[in-house]
Amino acid sequence: MGVEWYGRPRHGPVRRYHSGVAGYDLGHAARGRPMIDVSLQLDLALRLIVAAGLGAVVGAEREIHNHPAGIRTHMLVALGSGLFTVLSIFGFGLEGNADAAPVDPSRIAAQIVSGIGFLGAGAILKDGVIIRGLTTAASLWATAAVGMAAGAGEHILALVAAVIILVSLWPINALAERLHGVNRLEVELRLTMNRVDELGLVSAALAAGKIEILTIQTQRAGKGAYRADLVIRGRSTAVIASALEAIEAIPGVDIISTSQAD
């Protein structure tokens, strides 16, 4: 014979139930609050720790090289992506419930991929004619993927991806600087022009000599007179001298001063 017990419904008086009544779900009455699966919670917490740790490692490289997004930014991006991924899989309590509507966890993951682009755009800065921060924006985007992998429980995949990101940011960056010639000469150049559009001819002359324009500033010096301050970088003194000769040959453009940049 079943055991009698009392339960209080949401509305109405206290009613007496019998455990032997067919079709009655004792589990439903006993679940005033859902049970917490400690082992699952610990596993999910470990996933978030892994995501945050790998994000911090990637951010440390950016921090060392004085980029806008550093340890905290990358750590938060990875942690947030991991948490969103965990919630998309486990946060709605639908596991094992055959009566629940099907849920596609990839929907939240897809929103992470698109949403992180707005954060990455904030790291892209335009300095004169030079655009900086593209690599940092890409590292934020890739770090979000690392956090998603950790949140999905793919720890090895997340670790391998983080290592590849670090390799691309540090050793490969050093190789790229070596290929471009990190010790190239930088020169500050001041020009006067009759028209602003003559600056395009100056840029073309520098580009023909494969000289990089680092910064450029222009201002009006008077009626029909303009001044431009440029910082350029070339492979050698001879290459820069040749480009300066080409600039002096442009009608209406005069070189006021040149000096080596600090």
Task: Give the chain's domains with CATH numbers.
Answer: 38-178 (no CATH), 185-260 (3.30.70.260)
**Interatomic CA distance for residues 215 and 184, integer angstroms:** 16
Q: Specify the pLDDT at position 168.
A: 86
Q: Specify the pLDDT at position 116.
A: 84
Q: Specify the pLDDT at position 97.
A: 55
Whether the full predicted model's pTM is greater than 0.75, yes or no, is no
Structure tokens at 126: 């335009």
Q: Counting runs of H as helices and runs of E as strands, what totals does the chain give?
A: 9, 8
185-193 vs 253-260, strand pairing mode: antiparallel
Q: Specify the pLDDT at position 8.
A: 45
- Residue 150's closest CA among 82, 87, 56, 72? 82
* Cβ–Cβ < 8 Å for 189, 230: yes
* Cβ–Cβ < 8 Å for 18, 53: no
Q: Specify the pLDDT at position 102.
A: 64
Residues of the chain with pLDDT under 70: 1-36, 92-103, 125-131, 177-183, 261-262
Residue that is written with structure tokens 């930088």 in the block: 186
Q: What is the 3-state secondary structure (H, E, C) of 51-63?
A: HHHHHHHHHHHHH
